[in-house]
Amino acid sequence: MKKKTWGIMFATLMAFSLVLAGCGSNNSNSGSGSSKTLKVWFMGTSDTVTPITKMYEEQNPGVKVEVQAIPWDSAHDKLLTAVASQNGPDVVQMGTTWVPEFAAAGALADLAPYIEKYPNLKAENFYDGAVQTGQYDGKTVGIPWYVETRALFYRSDLLADVGYPEGPKTWDELKAASQKLVAKGGAGHYGITIDSKDQITAAIFAWQNGIDFIDDQGQPHFNDPKYVEAINYLKSFYDEKLTPSGTDLDTVAAFKDGTIPMFISGPWMIQTIKDKDPEIDGKWTVTTLPAKENNQSAIGGADLSIFNYSKNKDEAAKFISFMSDKEAQLKYYETSNSLPALKTAWDDQAFQDPMIAAFGKQLETSRPAPQIKEWETIAQSVISSFEQITIGGADTQTEMNKLNDKAKEILAK
């Protein structure tokens, strides 16, 4: 998603904010008497959240929830405008990777006093990785709303043919299964697709190899032997032609015809495969990622935050507490297919499906990308270095030394 720098945006919007300041208050409490309007920004379409906000209004007479649905591709710029003008919603849905940037800009309220007041907001209610997405500089600025993670999709019939009916459980098994699948399938067949343009691919394998590539003190470790070992493991799939080196292959079609029997992706692909590949129903499933030292994956999704300039913070916190209730979480899954962040929601029958349950299991060992505002910039260098090694043939240690120096430079700014 294209971003504009804070410097340019603030310079452009300063005059705009002054105009707004002269036009009126940013207080969204627009009603009279005891009536109140709560302004809420959600990403996507309003039909997924309106049924839930209606539930809130029914339980809280006198409160009107004004929902504004914002397309994801324009949401970042709209949030920048809101911050610059100090005029925005009371509650805002935050993509988890945006939290550090907007928290650093002072746009998100510290939720500590509200967590004490509303037990629904307590960290123990949610997956640990999801809780981490709402943390910044020692403060809680976001409450988990929905979650997603990456797991292993595999053709159970083809993996059974090479000795892995339940899918590979370790790095060694993943490599061996890929070699056997290619040997059995012949030319044009691969074991697994590894997305070199996905910023989180290398991170997942690094975490599994036991290395925090950016530590708690903000120091990068991309040239650590464990990180280099993880990259060389992935590189071996390219060297042995166990994964396609191009990006022009249609994963869904290749999964159906068996030329790519494994890939790593999120829960959104379950319905895609069901819709586009009905011919292979019963011949594929999902399992947790193979392990090295652990089988960690990446967590994503969205949090709910209180806009720091809101004058309805108490009502906003009450609303977020309501959205964290099991009934609201299940309703949102019903309207959007987004997985609940609330752990107790997973006791519902809807999540007993083995494929969905695999994602629930993976969420127990999932973690977010580094919660630093520089991560999105560093991630682009991670992708570039990975491609230099796997496609361009660069020496891994040399390239990782360059990446580490680049990360230090970015973090020092």
Cβ atoms 140, 110 nearer than 8 A: yes
Are residue 326 and residue 383 in the same domain, yes or no? Answer: no
Say how far apart CA 296 and CA 235 lie, in whole Å: 20
Tell me if 5 is assigned to some domain.
Answer: no
User: pTM higher than 0.85, yes or no?
Assistant: yes
In sequence order, what are the beta bridge partners of 39? 66
Cβ atoms 339, 148 nearer than 8 A: yes
- For residue 413, the model assigns a pLDDT of 85
Q: How many domains are there within the chain? A: 2
**Residue 411 CA, distance from chain mean position:** 22
Q: Please report the sign of the dihedral spanned by the C-alpha atoms of residue 49, residue 96, residue 350, residue 277.
A: positive
Domain CATH code at residue 342: 3.40.190.10
Tell me if 45 is assigned to some domain.
Answer: yes
Tell me if 11 is assigned to some domain.
Answer: no
pLDDT, mean over the chain: 91
Backbone angles phi, psi at 205, to 5 degrees: -70, -30
Last residue of a domain, one of 348, 367, 386: 367
User: What are the tens digits of pLDDT across the range 242-281?
Assistant: 999 876 789 999 999 999 999 999 999 999 999 999 999 9
Tell me if 18 is assigned to some domain.
Answer: no
Are residue 169 and residue 85 in the same domain, yes or no? Answer: no
Assign residue 370 a region (left: φ > 0; alpha: ψ between -120 and 50; beta: otherwise).
beta
User: What are the tens digits of pLDDT across the range 20-77?
Assistant: 333 333 444 444 446 899 999 999 888 999 999 999 999 999 999 999 999 989 999 9
Are residue 191 and residue 279 in the same domain, yes or no? Answer: yes
Are residue 280 and residue 165 in the same domain, yes or no? Answer: yes
Segments of the chain scoring below 70 in pLDDT = 1-34, 247
Are residue 53 and residue 115 in the same domain, yes or no? Answer: yes
Are residue 314 and residue 402 in the same domain, yes or no? Answer: no
Which residues neighbour 203 within 8 Å (Cβ) at sequence distance 6 or greater?
A: 213, 298, 369, 382
Are residue 310 and residue 243 in the same domain, yes or no? Answer: no
Tell me if 22 is assigned to some domain.
Answer: no
- For residue 246, the model assigns a pLDDT of 72
Q: What residue type is assigned to position 114 of the chain?
A: Y
Containing structural domain, residue 336: 36-149+299-367
Are residue 261 and residue 231 in the same domain, yes or no? Answer: yes
Q: What are the structure tokens assigned to 236, written together?
A: 């071996």
